Amino acid sequence: MLGVWAHPDDESYLSAVLMSRIVRVGGRVVLATATRGERDGTGDPEALAEIRERELRAAMACLCVRDVRFLGYADGQCANADAEQAICSIIALIKEVDPDIIVTFGPDGMTGHPDHIAVSGWVTAAAAAVGHEGLIYATMTDRFAERNASLHSRLGIWMGDKPRTIAHEDLALYVVPTPRERELKNRALKAHASQVSPLIELIGAEAFEDWCVDEHFRRPTFDEWFADRRLEAACLAV
């Protein structure tokens, strides 16, 4: 599995159990993160980047994921980065890793975050360029959105329009953790203490632990798969 995300902690919310299962049966997981998550509007960005990098590595140690990479983009600036260069770097990564599945955000970025949306576009175009048929998007179902509507409204997590949801029966992959896996995912999330601790203080440990438990994935639509063909053409020689 190759997971490509925007910030440290995206991977733990959206794919921790999937990663741990693949590792447990002897598979390889490579995690690539576009930024080091240095931008929160307070303090020293470089100091925060170092903290979040340590947190990410600690979270992945919980899941026995050893191959962690940073793509070197500035937090909050992925939408302004050179998309063709980013796509080419991800094409190279796909060719190196040769994964069976590639996991990232859908085009809505889950929360509408511009960094998430940019990363989704890069990965989709890269996968299309090499003809990789194992791309799946982290998503949310109608029932998940309905069950957590009040919490999401309270947290104000949507940046722009609310993300796309799909019917449960349209999922490509539905991961329901065992009690042990649920504990493991909770440990991985809590390793991202700089981000998670304030949230737990706000909503409470029980609500946090009951929030992003299951993991939902869908396949790209035809239109999504071909949306970035104009960018991939420049990368075919890589």
pLDDT tens for the chain, 238 residues: list them.
999 999 999 999 999 999 999 999 999 999 999 999 999 766 799 999 999 999 999 999 999 999 999 999 999 999 999 999 999 999 999 999 999 999 999 999 999 999 999 999 999 999 999 999 999 999 999 999 999 999 988 888 888 777 789 999 999 999 999 999 999 999 999 999 999 999 999 999 999 999 999 999 999 998 888 775 545 555 554 5
The CA-atom distances, in angstroms, between 189 and each of 68, 129, 143, 146, 224 are 16, 33, 23, 23, 30
Structure confidence at residue 41 (pLDDT): 65
**Residue 34 resides in a domain:** yes
For helices 114-130 and 83-97, the axis angle rounded to 10 degrees is: 60
**Residue 28 resides in a domain:** yes
Structure confidence at residue 225 (pLDDT): 83
The CA-atom distances, in angstroms, between 65 and each of 53, 89, 99, 173, 176 are 14, 21, 15, 21, 20
**Residue 233 resides in a domain:** no
Structure confidence at residue 237 (pLDDT): 47
**Alpha carbons 35 and 33: distance in angstroms, whole number:** 6
**Residue 68 resides in a domain:** yes
**Residue 225 resides in a domain:** no
Q: Looking at the 3D structure of the chain, how many domains does it have?
A: 1
Residue 97: which CATH number? Answer: 3.40.50.10320
Q: Which helix (H) or strand (E) holds 163?
A: none
Q: Give the domain extent around 6.
A: 2-219
**Residue 14 resides in a domain:** yes
**Residue 228 resides in a domain:** no
Is residue 62 within 8 A of residue 187, CB to CB? The reply is yes
